[in-house]
Amino acid sequence: MTTHRLGDLARQAGARLIGDADCGITGLSVLQEAKSGSISFLSNSKYRKYLKTTKASAVILEQKFLDECPTNALVSDNPYLVFAKIAQLIAPLPEKKAGRHVSAIVASSACIDVSASIGPGVVIEDDAVIGAGVDIGAGCVIGKGCQIGDDSRLVTNVTLCHGVTIGSRVLIHPGAIIGSDGFGLANDNGVWIKVPQLGSVCVGDDVEIGANTTIDRGAINDTLIGDGVKLDNQIQIAHNVEIGAHTAIAACVGVAGSTRIGKQCTLAGGVGVVGHLEIADNVHFSAQTLVTRSFTEPGYFSGNLPAVPNSVWRKSIARIRQLEDIAQRVRHLEKQSQQMIDDKLDQDI
C-alpha cells in the first residue's frame, strides 16, 4: 500500500480532522492490533475498551469518544461510513486485464466490449452483450442473450442463465446463480406438472449479490432486483419477487414467489418470507423471523425464540403447549372470583 496524507483522507471522506494533517497512513487495522501508520475506527461500542491503548496513527470516531482518543482523530456522526470511504481510497483495486483469456469459449454472435476482461474457462453463449470495463472471472457461464452493464464484475464460477439482464457496477460473488427456473408446479392428481418459467431476471445498477445466492427467473414476468440492492451469501430469491432499491438482505434469507419488498428495507440473517406478500418501504425484520403476512407500514418486526439453557427451554415449550389449558383455568378463576364477589355483595346487602 502507498502512503496517504491523513488530511487528504479526512477531506475526501468528509470527516473533521483533529490532529496532524501530514500524518502518513499506509493501511487499515482494528483498534486492538493497530500499528503506527494505520488508521482504525470505532463504530460498535463493544470495541470502545480498545480505544485508549490503541497504537493506530488515527482513529475515526464520534465526537463523544474524542476525549478518549490517544492519537489523531477523524470525527464524524457516521464513523463506519467514513471508514468505508477511506478503505476504498486506500485499498488496491483488483487487477483487471482487458481482453479474453485464450481458454474462454465465446460465441461468435456475442458482443463484447474491447475493454472487458474475460477470464480463463469462461463460457459466453450466443447473443450475449458485455459492456465496457466488465470483468468476468474464471469459470463463469453467461447464458444466451444475457446483457451485462458497464463496469460490472462477476468474480468466479458465477452462472447467468439465458436472457438475464445485469445493470452497471454490479458485483456478483462466486457460485451465485441468476436466472434458474422458478419452482412452478401444478398438481395433477398427486403428480407434479412443471410450469415452464418464461420470464427472466432483471438486476439494477450498483447491486451486490453474495456467494452461492440464487435468484430464480420469473414464470411470466421478470424477477426484479432494484438499484443498490445488497444481497449477502446463501440467499434464495424465488420467481417474480421484486426487491425495492437500496434494500439489504443478510445471509440465509429465503423470499418466496411473487412477494414484493419495498425500498430501504433490511432483512436480517435467516429470515423467511412467504409468497404473494407486499412489504412496504423501510420495513425491518429481525434474524430468523418468519414473515407470513403483508406489512404495509414501516417498522421493526420480529418473531424468533432466542436461545436459553436447555432446561429452561424444555419448561417453556411444555408450558406453551399448556397455554390453552392455562388460559381456560384463568377464565374459570375469573368466573369463580366474580361469583364470590357477587355472593359477598348479596351477603352485604
List, by residue number, the catalytic residues.
239
194 contributes a contact to its own copies by CB under 8 A: yes
Distance CA 84, CA 43 (A): 12
Binding mask 251-290 for its own copies (x = CB under 8 A): xx-x-x-------x---xxx-x-x-x--------xxxxxx
Q: Using the minimum distance from each CB to its own copies, give the nearer residue, 12 or 288.
A: 288
Residues 6+ apart with CB under 8 A from 246: 226, 227, 228, 229, 263, 264
Binding mask 100-119 for its own copies (x = CB under 8 A): -x-x-x-------------x
Distance CA 123, CA 161 (A): 12
Q: Using the minimum distance from each CB to its own copies, give the nearer residue, 52 or 329.
A: 329
64 contributes a contact to its own copies by CB under 8 A: no
Task: State phi, psi for 283 to the nearest 5 degrees.
Answer: -100, 140
- What are the CA-CA distances from residue 212 to residues 236, 237, 245, 254, 257 (Å)? 9, 12, 22, 13, 19
DSSP code string of 137-193:
-TT-EE-TT-EE-TT-EE-SS-EE-TT-EE-TT-EE-TT-EEEEPP--EEEETTEEE
Least gap, CB of 194 to its own copies (angstroms): 7
Of 7, 19, 181, 260, the one binding its own copies (CB under 8 A) is 181
Of 88, 97, 99, 109, the one binding its own copies (CB under 8 A) is 88
Candidates 3-11, 61-69, 128-136, 168-176: pick the segment binding its own copies (CB under 8 A). Answer: 168-176
Of 10, 56, 58, 141, the one binding its own copies (CB under 8 A) is 141
Binders of its own copies among residues 206 to 245 (CB under 8 A) are 208, 210-212, 214, 216, 220-221, 228, 230, 232-234, 236, 238
Q: How far apart are the two ends of the chain, measured CA to CA in Å?
A: 92
173 contributes a contact to its own copies by CB under 8 A: yes
SS3 234: coil
The position carrying cell 418466496 is: 256
Candidates 49-57, 65-73, 127-135, 166-174: pick the segment binding its own copies (CB under 8 A). Answer: 166-174
Binders of its own copies among residues 283 to 322 (CB under 8 A) are 285-293, 295, 299-310, 312-317, 319-322
Least gap, CB of 120 to its own copies (angstroms): 4
Number of residues located near its own copies, criterion CB under 8 A: 129
Binding mask 121-140 for its own copies (x = CB under 8 A): x-x-x-----------xxx-
Task: State phi, psi for 260 to the nearest 5 degrees.
Answer: -110, 125
Check residue 139 and give left, alpha or beta (phi > 0: left; psi -120 to 50: alpha). Answer: left
Binders of its own copies among residues 3 to 22 (CB under 8 A) are none
Q: Are 27 and 15 in contact (CB under 8 A)?
A: no
Distance CA 55, CA 171 (A): 34
Least gap, CB of 298 to its own copies (angstroms): 11
